[in-house]
């Protein structure tokens, strides 16, 4: 089937208590690893492209790679989404250039300005059959060039969500409930130590998620910054010349719970980067004389595929759901 927008996926995810995985793509191996996993377990998927990805790989290359995946995986619905669209012009370029969904990220703007910008994007997008994600509240971490220091993030205010959704006409809403971007989501000081000596991050603010859901009913909610930072890959990186002390993510059990509630889209990028980097670092160390990129990109792609399969089955709950989302 052709690329789809996110309407049907979100409708089914909200109705049946699962979330769609939204994975960032920057090159062919990442696109292949993700979509081969989705095809194998029959899962719908959102492939998302950031401003940084467009700058790195070029808009046309990314669209063509995703179109190739659509052709190779004819039995699953695939949406192509702009992640953290910074302005109207970027959203318009993506809508005109083959994307089926865009995010306009006005979360750093005052409320009225966020509404005005988001509404402008929605009007253009909807006229072209493209769905739109807006955001209220700010996450800590780095999104493209926007750096929000820990402690300067702000949770979404449930009392604002109805007005935002109604006045903008968005199709989904990203909220801030304690997730953050990147591989360093929590400091060790913010964590508690469990009986096995493992650092346990503070729980997400499910009270805010529930308050938002009470206001919006089945309306699709999005979680950014939802990598769990698998410690096996952090260890692999650190044992093979890397230096990533105290990389800590959101526990998968928390994400599973969010997916069963009103969260319909969960964004995962850093975990795939860790899998790729760890695999390649280990390959270099184990095989110092090899220099053919295919030899290290092949296991990196395979590990991305395995990780995505795990997320689809055990975290998002969307394995086997492709047919109902068509």
Residues found near ligand 13P in the complex (CB under 6 A): 24, 83-84, 181-182, 224-227, 267-271
Catalytic one among 83, 105, 171, 269?
A: 83
- Residues 174 and 134 sit within 8 Å (Cβ to Cβ): yes
Question: What separation, in Å, do the N-terminal and C-terminal C-alpha atoms of the chain show?
Answer: 9
How many CB atoms sit inside 10 A of residue 239's CB?
Answer: 12
305 binding Zn ion? (CB under 5 A): no
Residues in the chain: 326
Nearer to ligand 13P, 144 or 324 (CB): 144
For ligand G3H, the binding residues in 82-111 under the rule CB under 6 A are 83-84
Tokens of 156: 């979404």
Q: What is the C-alpha to C-alpha distance for residues 167 and 86, in angstroms, rounded to an integer?
A: 20
Nearer to ligand G3H, 175 or 325 (CB): 175
CB-count burial class (<10 Å; 0-12, 13-18, 19+) for 308? buried
Binding mask 214-243 for Zn ion (x = CB under 5 A): ----------x-------------------
Q: Where does this chain touch ligand G3H (CB under 6 A) — which range of 50-58, 73-81, 121-129, 247-255?
A: 50-58
How many CB atoms sit inside 10 A of residue 247's CB?
Answer: 22
Name beta bridge partners: 153. Answer: none
Query: Minimum Å distance from CB 46 to ligand 13P?
Result: 11
Instruction: Give the one entry of Zn ion, ligand G3H, ligand 13P, none that residue 252 binds, where binding means its C-beta sits below a cut-off of 5 to 8 angstroms depending on kind.
Output: none
Q: Is 232 a catalytic residue?
A: no
At residue 60, the 3 state secondary structure works out as: helix
- Of 248, 256, 255, 24, which is closest to residue 140 (Cα–Cα)? 248
DSSP state of 149: -
Query: Minimum Å distance from CB 298 to Zn ion?
Result: 29
277 binding ligand G3H? (CB under 6 A): no
Binding mask 173-192 for ligand G3H (x = CB under 6 A): --------x-----------
Instruction: Give the one entry of ligand 13P, Zn ion, ligand G3H, none that residue 226 binds, where binding means its C-beta sits below a cut-off of 5 to 8 angstroms depending on kind.
Output: ligand 13P
Tokens of 199: 């650092």
Question: So which residues are the catalytic ones?
Answer: 83
Question: What is the contact surface with ligand G3H in residues (CB under 6 A)?
Answer: 24, 50, 52-53, 83-84, 143-144, 181, 269
């Amino acid at each position: 089937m052709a690329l789809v927008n996110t309407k049907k996926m979100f409708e089914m995810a909200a109705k049946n208590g699962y979330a769609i995985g939204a994975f960032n793509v920057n090159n062919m191996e990442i696109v292949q690893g993700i979509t081969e996993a989705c095809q194998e377990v029959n899962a719908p998927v959102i492939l998302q492209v950031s401003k940084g990805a467009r700058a790195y790989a070029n808009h046309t290359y990314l669209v063509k790679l995703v179109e190739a995946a659509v052709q190779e995986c004819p039995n699953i619905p695939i949406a192509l989404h702009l992640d953290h669209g910074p302005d109207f012009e970027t959203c318009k370029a993506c809508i005109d250039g083959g994307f089926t969904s865009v995010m306009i990220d006005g979360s750093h703007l005052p409320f009225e300005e966020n509404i005005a910008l988001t509404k402008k994007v929605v009007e253009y997008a909807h006229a072209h059959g493209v769905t739109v994600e807006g955001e209220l509240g700010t996450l800590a971490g780095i999104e493209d060039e926007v750096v929000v220091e820990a402690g300067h993030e702000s949770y979404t205010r449930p009392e604002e969500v109805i007005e935002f959704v109604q006045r903008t006409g968005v199709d989904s809403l990203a909220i801030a409930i304690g997730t953050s971007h990147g591989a360093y989501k929590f400091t060790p000081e913010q964590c508690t130590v469990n009986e096995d000596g493992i650092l346990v991050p503070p729980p997400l603010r499910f009270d805010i998620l529930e308050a938002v859901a009470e206001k919006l009913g089945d309306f699709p909610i999005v979680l950014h910054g939802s990598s769990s930072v698998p410690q096996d890959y952090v260890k692999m990186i650190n044992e093979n010349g890397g230096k990533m002390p105290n990389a800590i993510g959101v526990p998968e059990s928390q994400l599973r719970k969010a997916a069963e509630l009103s969260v319909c889209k969960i964004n995962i990028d850093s975990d795939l980067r860790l899998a790729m980097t760890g695999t390649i670092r280990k390959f270099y160390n184990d095989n110092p004389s090899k220099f053919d990129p295919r030899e290290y990109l092949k296991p990196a792609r395979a590990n991305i595929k395995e990780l995505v399969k795990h997320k689809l089955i055990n975290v998002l709950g969307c394995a086997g759901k492709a047919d109902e989302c068509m």
